[in-house]
Amino acid sequence: MRLLPAYLHALEGNPMSTQRMEMWRGIATAAAQEARTIAEKANAAGRDLTAEEKAAYDRHMTKGREALEELKRAKSDVEILAQVKTLAAEVGEPVKVAAAGSRGRGSWAKAAADRMAKTMTMETDGQKSLITGSIGVPAPIETDIVTMSEAPRSLLELIPAKGLNGGYGTGNSFSFLRQTVRTNNAAPVADGALKPTSVYSLAEVEDRVRVIAHLSEPVPERYFADHANLEDFLRTEMEAGLYLALENQVVHGDGTGESLTGLLNTSGIIVQAFATDTLTSIRKAMTSLEVYGITPTALVLNPVDAEALDLLRDSGATGKYLLGDPGGDGVEKLWKVPRVPSTAVPAGTAVLGDWQQAQVIVREDATLALDRSGENFTKNLVTMRLEGRFGFAVKRPNAFVEVALAA
Protein backbone atom coordinates (compact mmCIF):
# COMPACT_ATOMS: atom_id res chain seq x y z
CA MET A 1 0.00 0.00 0.00
CA ARG A 2 1.32 3.42 -0.97
CA LEU A 3 0.92 6.28 1.47
CA LEU A 4 0.83 8.83 -1.35
CA PRO A 5 -2.70 10.33 -1.60
CA ALA A 6 -4.25 11.36 -4.89
CA TYR A 7 -3.63 15.06 -4.40
CA LEU A 8 0.11 14.40 -4.03
CA HIS A 9 0.53 12.08 -7.04
CA ALA A 10 1.71 15.00 -9.12
CA LEU A 11 4.86 15.07 -7.02
CA GLU A 12 5.93 11.61 -8.16
CA GLY A 13 8.55 11.56 -10.88
CA ASN A 14 9.41 15.22 -10.48
CA PRO A 15 12.98 16.33 -9.62
CA MET A 16 13.71 15.92 -5.94
CA SER A 17 13.43 19.01 -3.80
CA THR A 18 14.23 19.61 -0.18
CA GLN A 19 10.57 20.39 0.54
CA ARG A 20 9.37 17.07 -0.85
CA MET A 21 11.98 15.13 1.11
CA GLU A 22 11.13 16.96 4.32
CA MET A 23 7.41 16.37 3.73
CA TRP A 24 7.93 12.61 3.91
CA ARG A 25 10.19 12.99 6.92
CA GLY A 26 7.45 15.06 8.59
CA ILE A 27 4.82 12.40 7.88
CA ALA A 28 7.05 9.70 9.39
CA THR A 29 7.74 11.90 12.41
CA ALA A 30 4.05 12.62 12.97
CA ALA A 31 3.20 8.90 12.78
CA ALA A 32 5.91 8.19 15.35
CA GLN A 33 4.42 10.85 17.64
CA GLU A 34 0.97 9.24 17.48
CA ALA A 35 2.41 5.83 18.29
CA ARG A 36 4.44 7.28 21.14
CA THR A 37 1.36 8.91 22.65
CA ILE A 38 -0.40 5.53 22.75
CA ALA A 39 2.62 3.87 24.38
CA GLU A 40 3.01 6.62 26.99
CA LYS A 41 -0.64 6.41 27.95
CA ALA A 42 -0.28 2.71 28.71
CA ASN A 43 2.98 3.33 30.52
CA ALA A 44 1.45 6.02 32.72
CA ALA A 45 -1.31 3.59 33.69
CA GLY A 46 1.22 0.85 34.46
CA ARG A 47 -0.34 -1.62 32.04
CA ASP A 48 0.14 -3.29 28.67
CA LEU A 49 -1.58 -2.07 25.54
CA THR A 50 -5.15 -3.19 24.97
CA ALA A 51 -5.94 -4.95 21.69
CA GLU A 52 -7.51 -1.74 20.39
CA GLU A 53 -4.49 0.34 21.35
CA LYS A 54 -2.13 -2.20 19.83
CA ALA A 55 -4.08 -2.05 16.54
CA ALA A 56 -3.88 1.77 16.50
CA TYR A 57 -0.18 1.63 17.39
CA ASP A 58 0.47 -0.75 14.49
CA ARG A 59 -1.43 1.49 12.08
CA HIS A 60 0.72 4.49 12.95
CA MET A 61 3.92 2.44 12.74
CA THR A 62 2.92 1.14 9.31
CA LYS A 63 2.21 4.67 8.16
CA GLY A 64 5.62 5.80 9.41
CA ARG A 65 7.42 2.94 7.61
CA GLU A 66 5.59 3.72 4.37
CA ALA A 67 6.64 7.36 4.61
CA LEU A 68 10.23 6.24 5.16
CA GLU A 69 10.03 4.11 2.03
CA GLU A 70 8.82 7.14 0.08
CA LEU A 71 11.73 9.13 1.50
CA LYS A 72 14.21 6.46 0.39
CA ARG A 73 12.67 6.34 -3.08
CA ALA A 74 12.83 10.11 -3.35
CA LYS A 75 16.52 10.43 -2.58
CA SER A 76 19.24 7.81 -3.07
CA ASP A 77 22.04 9.96 -1.75
CA VAL A 78 24.26 7.96 0.59
CA GLU A 79 24.08 10.44 3.46
CA ILE A 80 20.30 10.70 3.26
CA LEU A 81 19.95 6.93 3.14
CA ALA A 82 22.04 6.66 6.28
CA GLN A 83 19.72 9.08 8.06
CA VAL A 84 16.67 7.21 6.85
CA LYS A 85 18.08 3.88 8.07
CA THR A 86 18.63 5.41 11.48
CA LEU A 87 15.07 6.74 11.63
CA ALA A 88 13.70 3.44 10.33
CA ALA A 89 15.53 1.58 13.07
CA GLU A 90 13.90 3.82 15.65
CA VAL A 91 10.31 3.67 14.38
CA GLY A 92 10.41 0.20 12.91
CA GLU A 93 11.59 -2.00 15.81
CA PRO A 94 9.15 -4.90 16.32
CA VAL A 95 7.21 -4.90 19.57
CA LYS A 96 5.75 -7.73 21.59
CA VAL A 97 2.57 -7.44 23.61
CA ALA A 98 2.62 -9.19 26.97
CA ALA A 99 -0.03 -11.85 27.55
CA ALA A 100 -3.09 -10.82 29.51
CA GLY A 101 -2.54 -11.03 33.23
CA SER A 102 1.28 -11.13 33.04
CA ARG A 103 3.40 -9.40 35.65
CA GLY A 104 5.66 -6.38 35.05
CA ARG A 105 2.89 -4.59 33.20
CA GLY A 106 4.70 -1.29 32.69
CA SER A 107 7.93 -2.67 31.23
CA TRP A 108 6.92 -3.04 27.57
CA ALA A 109 5.09 0.29 27.46
CA LYS A 110 8.08 2.05 29.01
CA ALA A 111 10.48 0.51 26.50
CA ALA A 112 8.21 1.46 23.62
CA ALA A 113 7.89 5.02 24.93
CA ASP A 114 11.67 5.26 25.25
CA ARG A 115 12.13 4.15 21.66
CA MET A 116 9.53 6.62 20.41
CA ALA A 117 11.12 9.38 22.49
CA LYS A 118 14.40 8.79 20.68
CA THR A 119 12.61 9.10 17.37
CA MET A 120 10.62 12.18 18.28
CA THR A 121 13.28 14.14 20.17
CA MET A 122 14.88 16.04 17.31
CA GLU A 123 17.90 18.19 18.12
CA THR A 124 19.08 21.40 16.47
CA ASP A 125 22.45 22.49 17.82
CA GLY A 126 21.77 20.54 20.99
CA GLN A 127 18.28 21.96 21.52
CA LYS A 128 15.54 19.33 21.87
CA SER A 129 12.37 20.20 20.03
CA LEU A 130 9.90 17.72 21.57
CA ILE A 131 6.85 19.70 22.67
CA THR A 132 3.95 18.07 24.49
CA GLY A 133 0.80 18.14 22.40
CA SER A 134 2.65 19.38 19.32
CA ILE A 135 4.30 17.82 16.30
CA GLY A 136 7.65 19.11 15.13
CA VAL A 137 7.57 19.74 11.38
CA PRO A 138 11.08 19.47 9.91
CA ALA A 139 11.89 22.66 8.06
CA PRO A 140 12.67 22.61 4.33
CA ILE A 141 15.69 24.74 5.05
CA GLU A 142 19.01 23.00 4.70
CA THR A 143 21.17 23.40 7.79
CA ASP A 144 24.24 22.43 5.77
CA ILE A 145 25.80 24.40 2.92
CA VAL A 146 23.68 23.91 -0.17
CA THR A 147 25.54 22.42 -3.12
CA MET A 148 24.71 23.60 -6.61
CA SER A 149 24.86 20.19 -8.32
CA GLU A 150 21.06 20.03 -8.40
CA ALA A 151 18.67 22.71 -9.54
CA PRO A 152 17.39 24.61 -6.48
CA ARG A 153 13.62 24.98 -6.53
CA SER A 154 13.21 27.49 -3.72
CA LEU A 155 15.00 30.60 -2.57
CA LEU A 156 15.22 29.11 0.92
CA GLU A 157 17.24 26.18 -0.46
CA LEU A 158 19.99 28.64 -1.35
CA ILE A 159 20.46 30.07 2.14
CA PRO A 160 22.24 28.22 4.97
CA ALA A 161 20.26 27.93 8.19
CA LYS A 162 21.60 27.83 11.73
CA GLY A 163 20.01 27.21 15.10
CA LEU A 164 19.99 30.29 17.32
CA ASN A 165 22.27 28.57 19.83
CA GLY A 166 24.82 27.85 17.11
CA GLY A 167 26.89 30.90 18.01
CA TYR A 168 24.41 33.72 17.40
CA GLY A 169 22.75 34.18 20.76
CA THR A 170 20.14 32.83 23.15
CA GLY A 171 16.54 33.57 23.98
CA ASN A 172 14.78 35.81 21.50
CA SER A 173 17.78 37.92 20.46
CA PHE A 174 20.79 37.28 18.30
CA SER A 175 23.79 39.18 16.96
CA PHE A 176 26.23 38.68 14.13
CA LEU A 177 29.18 40.40 12.50
CA ARG A 178 28.62 42.10 9.16
CA GLN A 179 31.53 43.00 6.92
CA THR A 180 31.36 46.67 5.93
CA VAL A 181 34.80 47.31 4.41
CA ARG A 182 37.19 45.03 2.57
CA THR A 183 40.43 46.62 1.39
CA ASN A 184 43.23 44.24 0.54
CA ASN A 185 46.63 45.94 0.78
CA ALA A 186 48.82 42.83 0.70
CA ALA A 187 52.07 43.49 -1.23
CA PRO A 188 55.71 42.35 -1.42
CA VAL A 189 57.72 43.69 1.53
CA ALA A 190 61.48 44.18 1.78
CA ASP A 191 63.45 43.10 4.83
CA GLY A 192 62.95 45.55 7.67
CA ALA A 193 60.27 47.52 5.84
CA LEU A 194 56.89 48.35 7.32
CA LYS A 195 54.24 45.87 6.23
CA PRO A 196 50.99 47.22 4.78
CA THR A 197 47.72 46.93 6.68
CA SER A 198 44.62 45.56 5.04
CA VAL A 199 41.23 46.76 6.22
CA TYR A 200 38.44 44.28 6.95
CA SER A 201 35.97 46.29 8.98
CA LEU A 202 33.17 44.52 10.81
CA ALA A 203 30.06 45.88 12.48
CA GLU A 204 28.07 44.00 15.11
CA VAL A 205 24.39 43.79 14.21
CA GLU A 206 21.82 42.99 16.88
CA ASP A 207 18.36 41.71 16.04
CA ARG A 208 15.67 39.33 17.29
CA VAL A 209 13.70 36.45 15.89
CA ARG A 210 10.07 36.84 14.83
CA VAL A 211 7.14 34.46 14.99
CA ILE A 212 5.67 33.40 11.66
CA ALA A 213 2.40 31.52 12.11
CA HIS A 214 -1.09 30.78 10.85
CA LEU A 215 -4.21 28.83 11.81
CA SER A 216 -6.47 26.55 9.85
CA GLU A 217 -10.20 27.01 9.82
CA PRO A 218 -11.97 24.81 12.39
CA VAL A 219 -12.47 21.36 10.86
CA PRO A 220 -15.12 18.86 12.02
CA GLU A 221 -13.50 16.14 14.12
CA ARG A 222 -15.16 13.39 12.11
CA TYR A 223 -13.31 14.47 8.95
CA PHE A 224 -10.09 13.13 10.45
CA ALA A 225 -11.68 9.74 11.09
CA ASP A 226 -13.41 9.61 7.70
CA HIS A 227 -10.47 10.83 5.61
CA ALA A 228 -7.19 9.26 6.69
CA ASN A 229 -4.96 11.65 4.77
CA LEU A 230 -6.62 14.89 5.85
CA GLU A 231 -4.10 15.73 8.57
CA ASP A 232 -1.17 15.11 6.21
CA PHE A 233 -2.82 17.27 3.55
CA LEU A 234 -3.47 20.19 5.92
CA ARG A 235 0.02 19.93 7.39
CA THR A 236 1.58 20.06 3.92
CA GLU A 237 -0.55 23.03 2.88
CA MET A 238 0.15 24.97 6.07
CA GLU A 239 3.85 24.22 5.95
CA ALA A 240 4.07 25.47 2.36
CA GLY A 241 2.21 28.64 3.35
CA LEU A 242 4.46 29.32 6.32
CA TYR A 243 7.68 28.96 4.35
CA LEU A 244 6.31 31.12 1.56
CA ALA A 245 5.73 33.84 4.18
CA LEU A 246 9.30 33.35 5.45
CA GLU A 247 10.62 33.61 1.90
CA ASN A 248 8.74 36.89 1.42
CA GLN A 249 10.22 38.24 4.64
CA VAL A 250 13.75 37.19 3.64
CA VAL A 251 13.43 39.16 0.39
CA HIS A 252 11.58 42.34 1.32
CA GLY A 253 10.70 42.43 5.02
CA ASP A 254 10.95 46.06 6.14
CA GLY A 255 12.33 45.39 9.63
CA THR A 256 9.54 47.26 11.43
CA GLY A 257 7.33 45.72 14.08
CA GLU A 258 7.22 41.96 13.61
CA SER A 259 8.82 41.97 10.16
CA LEU A 260 12.31 40.71 9.48
CA THR A 261 14.79 42.99 7.74
CA GLY A 262 14.82 41.49 4.28
CA LEU A 263 17.61 41.50 1.76
CA LEU A 264 16.20 44.34 -0.37
CA ASN A 265 15.97 46.55 2.73
CA THR A 266 19.49 45.80 3.95
CA SER A 267 21.89 48.72 3.81
CA GLY A 268 24.98 48.10 1.68
CA ILE A 269 23.65 45.84 -1.07
CA ILE A 270 24.63 46.84 -4.61
CA VAL A 271 22.01 48.34 -6.92
CA GLN A 272 22.27 47.75 -10.67
CA ALA A 273 20.18 50.13 -12.77
CA PHE A 274 18.58 48.95 -15.99
CA ALA A 275 21.11 49.02 -18.82
CA THR A 276 19.99 48.59 -22.44
CA ASP A 277 18.12 45.30 -21.94
CA THR A 278 17.50 42.53 -19.40
CA LEU A 279 20.51 40.39 -20.29
CA THR A 280 22.88 43.35 -20.30
CA SER A 281 21.61 44.47 -16.89
CA ILE A 282 22.16 41.02 -15.39
CA ARG A 283 25.63 40.70 -16.91
CA LYS A 284 26.65 44.10 -15.52
CA ALA A 285 25.41 42.97 -12.09
CA MET A 286 27.70 39.95 -12.35
CA THR A 287 30.62 42.25 -13.05
CA SER A 288 29.81 44.36 -9.99
CA LEU A 289 30.28 41.23 -7.87
CA GLU A 290 33.31 39.91 -9.70
CA VAL A 291 35.28 43.11 -9.05
CA TYR A 292 34.97 42.26 -5.35
CA GLY A 293 36.07 38.68 -5.97
CA ILE A 294 32.55 37.36 -5.31
CA THR A 295 31.14 34.43 -7.29
CA PRO A 296 27.33 34.48 -7.41
CA THR A 297 25.60 31.21 -6.53
CA ALA A 298 22.15 32.01 -7.94
CA LEU A 299 20.02 34.56 -9.73
CA VAL A 300 16.56 34.80 -8.14
CA LEU A 301 13.79 36.42 -10.14
CA ASN A 302 10.02 36.53 -10.41
CA PRO A 303 8.46 33.74 -12.54
CA VAL A 304 7.11 36.40 -14.93
CA ASP A 305 10.64 37.63 -15.62
CA ALA A 306 11.95 34.06 -15.85
CA GLU A 307 9.36 33.43 -18.56
CA ALA A 308 10.41 36.58 -20.43
CA LEU A 309 14.02 35.38 -20.46
CA ASP A 310 13.05 31.92 -21.68
CA LEU A 311 11.04 33.40 -24.55
CA LEU A 312 13.79 35.67 -25.85
CA ARG A 313 14.43 34.91 -29.52
CA ASP A 314 17.11 35.78 -32.03
CA SER A 315 15.85 38.25 -34.67
CA GLY A 316 12.60 39.10 -32.92
CA ALA A 317 9.74 36.61 -32.69
CA THR A 318 10.84 34.07 -35.28
CA GLY A 319 14.44 33.17 -34.54
CA LYS A 320 15.87 30.53 -32.26
CA TYR A 321 15.39 30.81 -28.52
CA LEU A 322 18.42 32.60 -27.13
CA LEU A 323 18.64 30.63 -23.91
CA GLY A 324 18.46 27.16 -25.41
CA ASP A 325 16.12 24.35 -26.38
CA PRO A 326 12.72 24.55 -24.62
CA GLY A 327 12.79 20.74 -24.41
CA GLY A 328 16.06 20.65 -22.51
CA ASP A 329 16.06 19.21 -19.01
CA GLY A 330 19.26 20.70 -17.63
CA VAL A 331 19.63 23.17 -14.77
CA GLU A 332 18.39 26.59 -15.86
CA LYS A 333 21.41 28.88 -15.90
CA LEU A 334 22.47 32.26 -17.14
CA TRP A 335 26.20 32.67 -17.69
CA LYS A 336 26.70 29.48 -15.65
CA VAL A 337 24.72 30.89 -12.71
CA PRO A 338 21.58 28.91 -11.73
CA ARG A 339 18.26 30.73 -12.07
CA VAL A 340 15.69 30.27 -9.30
CA PRO A 341 12.11 31.56 -9.70
CA SER A 342 10.45 33.08 -6.64
CA THR A 343 7.21 34.99 -6.26
CA ALA A 344 8.82 36.76 -3.30
CA VAL A 345 10.92 38.81 -5.71
CA PRO A 346 8.89 41.64 -7.30
CA ALA A 347 8.38 41.49 -11.06
CA GLY A 348 10.88 43.71 -12.84
CA THR A 349 13.57 42.99 -10.24
CA ALA A 350 16.13 40.21 -9.82
CA VAL A 351 18.53 39.46 -6.98
CA LEU A 352 21.97 38.16 -7.91
CA GLY A 353 24.33 37.10 -5.18
CA ASP A 354 26.39 34.66 -3.19
CA TRP A 355 23.58 33.32 -1.02
CA GLN A 356 26.06 31.71 1.36
CA GLN A 357 26.65 35.23 2.70
CA ALA A 358 23.16 35.27 4.22
CA GLN A 359 21.78 33.13 7.03
CA VAL A 360 18.35 32.07 8.24
CA ILE A 361 18.37 31.96 12.04
CA VAL A 362 16.09 29.24 13.41
CA ARG A 363 14.98 29.65 17.02
CA GLU A 364 12.15 27.14 16.67
CA ASP A 365 11.40 25.03 13.61
CA ALA A 366 7.82 25.08 12.33
CA THR A 367 5.67 23.21 14.84
CA LEU A 368 2.16 21.92 14.29
CA ALA A 369 -0.40 21.89 17.12
CA LEU A 370 -3.99 20.64 17.12
CA ASP A 371 -6.54 22.33 19.38
CA ARG A 372 -9.77 20.66 20.48
CA SER A 373 -10.37 22.78 23.57
CA GLY A 374 -12.85 25.54 24.45
CA GLU A 375 -15.51 26.18 21.86
CA ASN A 376 -13.90 23.59 19.57
CA PHE A 377 -14.60 20.94 22.22
CA THR A 378 -18.26 21.84 22.54
CA LYS A 379 -18.71 21.86 18.75
CA ASN A 380 -16.52 18.83 18.01
CA LEU A 381 -14.10 20.86 15.92
CA VAL A 382 -10.32 20.86 15.48
CA THR A 383 -8.13 23.89 14.70
CA MET A 384 -4.56 23.44 13.53
CA ARG A 385 -1.79 25.96 14.21
CA LEU A 386 1.60 26.02 12.54
CA GLU A 387 4.28 28.42 13.74
CA GLY A 388 8.01 28.90 13.92
CA ARG A 389 10.48 31.54 15.10
CA PHE A 390 13.02 32.82 12.61
CA GLY A 391 15.56 35.56 12.05
CA PHE A 392 17.58 36.64 9.03
CA ALA A 393 21.17 37.85 8.77
CA VAL A 394 23.02 39.33 5.81
CA LYS A 395 26.68 38.95 6.72
CA ARG A 396 28.10 40.60 3.62
CA PRO A 397 25.70 43.03 1.91
CA ASN A 398 27.95 43.71 -1.09
CA ALA A 399 27.66 40.03 -2.03
CA PHE A 400 24.16 40.82 -3.37
CA VAL A 401 22.92 42.96 -6.26
CA GLU A 402 19.39 44.23 -6.76
CA VAL A 403 18.99 44.27 -10.53
CA ALA A 404 16.43 46.38 -12.37
CA LEU A 405 15.12 44.38 -15.33
CA ALA A 406 13.15 47.22 -16.92
CA ALA A 407 13.60 50.94 -17.39
Predicted local distance difference test score (pLDDT) of residue 218:
96
CA distances from 153 to 135, 232, 401 (A): 26, 22, 20
CB neighbour class for 53 (10 Å; exposed up to 12, middle 13-18, buried from 19)? middle
- Among residues 134, 123, 142, which one has the least CA distance to residue 22? 142
The CA distance from 108 to 381, in Å, is 34
C-alpha 224/C-alpha 35 separation (Å) is 16
Of 162, 222, 114, residue with least CA distance to 360: 162
| pLDDT tens digits, one per residue of 185-214 | 999 999 999 999 999 999 898 999 999 999
Q: Which residues pair with 383 in a beta bridge?
A: 371
Domain ranges of the chain: 1-121, 129-407
- Could you read off the pLDDT of 40-64 as tens digits, one per residue? 787 777 778 888 888 888 888 888 8
User: Do 173 and 207 contact (CB within 8 A), yes or no?
Assistant: yes
Residue range 129-407 forms a domain whose CATH class is alpha beta
Q: Of 312, 364, 344, nearest to 154 (Cα)? A: 344
For 278-329, what is each residue's pLDDT tens digit? 999 999 999 999 999 999 999 999 999 999 999 888 877 778 888 877 776 6
Number of CB atoms found within 10 A of residue 315's CB? 7
